[in-house]
């Protein structure tokens, strides 16, 4: 369920703000979204895995806080990011 180094690098290059960016809020949200999607698939097959479900809820809360931070800074960046990630209809 963890991200491989190669997949992390793909996400960083896809969502980075500038060429040396590795930890901006956009990159963190993209990585959290990838982990959330993988964990959601895991929980569909393993319905009784309650510890992973708790971890999923923690990841969702962390992503929500980061999205709120981005939204406070720039509404346009927020809209662009959720559009690219395909979250929040």
CATH number at residue 53: 1.10.287.10
Statement: residue 61 has pLDDT above 50: yes
Rounded to 5°, angle at Cα 37 from 87 and 39: 145
Q: Residue 1: its pLDDT value, please?
A: 65
What is the helix, strand, coil percentage profile of the chain, to 5?
Answer: 75, 0, 25
Mean confidence (pLDDT) of the chain: 94
Q: How many domains does the chain have?
A: 1
> In the chain, what percentage of residues exceed pLDDT 90?
93
- Residue 48, in any domain of the structure: yes
Residue 57 is assigned to a structural domain of this protein = yes
Average of pLDDT values for 6-20?
93
The answer as to whether 76 is a domain residue is: yes
The reply to whether 8 falls in a domain is: no
**pTM, to two decimals:** 0.92
pLDDT given at position 2:
81
- Residue-range definition of the domain harbouring residue 51: 44-89
Task: Output the pLDDT for position 88.
Answer: 80
HSE, side-chain direction, 13 A CA sphere, residue 23? 0
pLDDT at residue 73 tops 50: yes
Percent of the chain topping pLDDT 70: 98
């Amino acid at each position: 369920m963890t991200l491989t180094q190669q997949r992390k690098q793909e996400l960083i290059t896809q969502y980075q703000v500038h060429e040396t960016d590795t930890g901006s809020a956009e990159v963190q949200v993209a990585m959290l979204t990838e982990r959330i999607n993988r964990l959601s698939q895991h929980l569909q097959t393993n319905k009784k895995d309650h510890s992973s479900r708790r971890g999923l809820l923690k990841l969702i809360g962390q992503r929500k806080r980061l999205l709120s931070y981005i939204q406070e800074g720039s509404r346009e960046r927020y809209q662009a990011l959720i559009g690219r990630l395909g979250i929040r209809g």
